[in-house]
Homo-oligomer: A and B are copies of this chain.
């Protein structure tokens, strides 16, 4: 198992014994299709030639805002938080990256945010220059990335609306439904919403304080809209939740 240190200095490809196909080594516990949910087999095969893999322990930071953007990542397992820090410590989480998501796609010289692992994370790491070369040579691949980027933009605009114009209760409701839908894409529909991140992360994502998040969840539980369980929330009254979240 590779560590963050191994990520920073990518291990040679031979470290992962592979059969030559678009499969990843068992040692890394990486499922090939998870590199990017939107990619097709042929595209994966191309990526396969330039990928480095690794794992990041919970709470470790592997992208530092302002540093040279030398890598592009995709999440294979686990949850990553992307955030901006103000000089006085205030933090805004601008997104959670989950299996299939890309990080660091912006064509800038420096990372615009920091990123660290919420829980244990498995990553694919690509050298930026190699990645760019591949992308330039394969228009269909660039098109996928462009789709991914514009989709991220749509989500970012919804998030602005959520933070700028909605009450705490509405933000929490929308957050729970969003997390439910994201997990549904990965592991199938469920009334149980996995919440690997802690309350402080939810607060910093929604522009609230940890106390407000806690109180709001407690109130929703008291009203029998949700049931709070460790690391998760069970949705009891989806209609009511959707009504609170609706635009």
Q: Give chain A interface residues in 118-172, CB to chain B under 8 Å.
A: 136, 139, 142-143, 145-147, 149-154, 156-161, 163-166
Q: Does A96 contact B (CB under 8 A)?
A: no
Interface 0/1 of A76-101, CB less than 8 Å to B: 00000000111100111011000000
- Asked, given contacts A156-B160, A165-B207, whether A147 binds B86 with beta carbons under 8 Å apart, the answer is no
The smallest C-beta distance from A231 to any residue of chain B, in angstroms, reads 24
* B residues in contact with A175, CB < 8 Å: none
The residue on B at minimum CB distance from A157 is B94
* A62 within 8 Å of B (CB atoms): no
B164 touching A92 by the CB < 8 A rule?
Answer: yes
Interface centre among A85, A90, A145, A164 (most CB of B within 10 A): A164
Task: Closest B residue to A145 by CB, please name it.
Answer: B146
Q: A142 → chain B, closest Cβ, in Å?
A: 6
Pick 16 A–B contacts, CB within 8 A, sort by A.
A85-B247, A86-B165, A86-B166, A87-B246, A90-B166, A92-B160, A92-B161, A107-B146, A108-B151, A112-B154, A112-B158, A145-B146, A149-B153, A153-B156, A164-B207, A165-B204
